[in-house]
């Protein structure tokens, strides 16, 4: 199959959507499909991977990591589609690139697949308009675009239920983003502790993801402050970068946690795995993520997790089997972290089960499920013709 993947963000930016698009593209290509990625252009960036087509973009108004693609009706896109006519068009956002993907799919009578990565209404604080209005618009956009697709892909059952509550009536398939077990296994692990002056024997709590308001890091920092009362030598590693870094540093200072909390900034995928492997416990405080991909990555390297209860983790962690799920509060998160730090036997048991669980979510398995969805849509399209 020839597959066209449209996304509002891609390398060099690193976030959950970028990881998902790149993993699925690579794994589909391994299965023999011809995959082309259509993404915004980033000033100064040159691609080293094949079949990445950069769209004309404006400089980002707020963040260097998110240029604004303006793909509408360009001769460039028409030319690329003529050269590489897709069988499937797959949008990863309901905004500018997604709407152009929809136009091109309809024009060429191709099935349109849409992955709903993000609960858009939970990001209303980024739009300088009244929050209630933005949340209503987010629900409308989610419903309207989903119902215009031939199939909607979501990472968890909880997201499928949410879309149904919005009034989405189209076919929905639950296909998580798989984890790159080959990369994890093939890259030699290196200790990250010297880089942040963390003693070799000190327990380390790790978080991986964007440093952003919606990730609920205030709960994690307050919980960690409670943990330090019981474990005097514990450190917290916040792996990633984002718009909340300055506020995060202010909160670290206000809680008296300087020297105990370390922000890594944006790091490579291999470095993320190094951080996870060199940590004692992985903490996942987010209540807005649609999938606990970083939880799976921690599980794959044997770092036991404690996560706040949400739809993102309940499809991944089997409670008390390969991780801990706690109710959403500062105190319960702190108690979960302390429980894992206090018991090496519990950590080892959960870590062993977690590694096995992670194998069920391999990138190859998830890409195979996605290609089967593509094939079924093409079969339905051919039957209609």
CA-wise closest residue to 145 among 105, 186, 91: 91
Indicate the range of 118-132, 208-222, 307-321, 364-378 predicted with least confidence. Answer: 118-132
Query: pLDDT tens digits for 265-304?
Result: 989 888 999 999 999 999 999 998 888 889 999 999 999 9
Q: Which domains does the chain have, with CATH numbers?
A: 2-178+363-384 (3.40.50.2000), 181-359 (3.40.50.2000)
The two three-digit tokens of residue 212, written as one number: 């952003």
Q: How far apart are CA 72 and CA 78, in angstroms?
A: 10
363: enclosing H helix or E strand: helix 363-384
CA-wise closest residue to 4 among 39, 42, 30: 39
pLDDT higher than threshold 70 for residue 166: yes
Looking at residue 72, its pLDDT comes to 72
- For residue 56, what are the contacts with CB-CB under 8 A and spacing of at least 6? 41, 69, 70, 71, 74, 76
Query: pLDDT tens digits for 188-238?
Result: 889 999 999 999 999 999 999 999 999 999 999 999 999 999 999 999 999
pTM: 0.84
Looking at residue 336, its pLDDT comes to 98
CB atoms within 10 A of CB 61: 8
Please compute the mean of the pLDDT values over residues 128-141 and round it to a whole number. Answer: 88
Q: How far apart are CA 119 and CA 34, in angstroms?
A: 30
Looking at residue 23, its pLDDT comes to 94
Q: Which residue is it, tokens 């030598």?
A: 233
Q: How far apart are CA 235 and CA 202, in angstroms?
A: 7
Looking at residue 385, its pLDDT comes to 52
- For residue 103, what are the contacts with CB-CB under 8 A and spacing of at least 6? 72, 73
Q: How far apart are CA 201 and CA 214, in angstroms?
A: 32
Q: Exposed, middle or buried by CB within 10 Å (0-12, 13-18, 19+), for 353?
A: middle
């Amino acid at each position: 199959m020839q597959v066209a993947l449209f996304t509002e963000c891609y390398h060099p930016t690193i976030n959950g959507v970028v990881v998902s698009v790149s993993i699925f593209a690579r794994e589909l290509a391994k299965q023999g499909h011809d995959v082309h990625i259509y993404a915004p252009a980033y000033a100064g960036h040159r691609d080293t991977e094949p079949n990445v087509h950069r769209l004309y973009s404006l400089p980002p108004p707020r963040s260097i990591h998110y240029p604004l693609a303006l793909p509408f009706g360009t001769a460039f896109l028409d030319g690329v589609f003529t050269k590489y006519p897709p069988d499937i068009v797959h949008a990863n956002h309901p905004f500018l690139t997604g709407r152009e993907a929809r136009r091109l799919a309809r024009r060429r009578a191709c099935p349109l697949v849409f992955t709903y990565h993000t609960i858009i209404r939970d990001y209303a604080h980024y739009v300088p308009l009244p929050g209630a209005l933005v949340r209503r618009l987010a629900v409308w956009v989610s419903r309207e675009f989903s119902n215009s697709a031939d199939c909607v892909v979501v990472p968890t059952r909880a997201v499928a239920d949410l879309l149904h509550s919005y009034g989405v009536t189209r076919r929905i398939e639950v296909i998580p983003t798989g984890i790159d077990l080959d990369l994890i296994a093939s890259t030699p692990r290196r200790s990250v502790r010297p880089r942040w002056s963390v003693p070799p024997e000190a327990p380390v709590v790790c978080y991986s993801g964007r440093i952003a308001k919606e990730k609920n890091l205030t709960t994690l920092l307050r919980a960690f402050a409670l943990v330090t009362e019981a474990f005097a030598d514990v450190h917290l590693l916040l792996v990633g970068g984002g718009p909340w870094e300055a506020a995060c540093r202010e909160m670290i200072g206000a809680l008296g946690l300087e020297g105990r909390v370390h922000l890594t900034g944006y790091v490579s995928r291999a470095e993320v795995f190094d951080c996870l492997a060199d940590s004692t416990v992985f903490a996942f405080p987010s209540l807005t993520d649609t999938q606990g991909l970083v939880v799976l990555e921690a599980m794959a390297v044997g770092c036991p997790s404690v996560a706040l209860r949400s739809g993102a983790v309940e499809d991944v962690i089997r409670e008390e089997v390969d991780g801990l799920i706690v109710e959403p509060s500062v105190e319960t998160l702190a108690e979960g972290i302390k429980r894992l730090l206090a018991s090496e036997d519990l950590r080892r048991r959960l870590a062993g089960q977690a590694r096995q669980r992670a194998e069920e979510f391999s990138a190859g398995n998830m890409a195979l499920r996605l290609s089967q969805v593509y094939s079924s849509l093409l079969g339905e399209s051919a039957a209609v013709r």
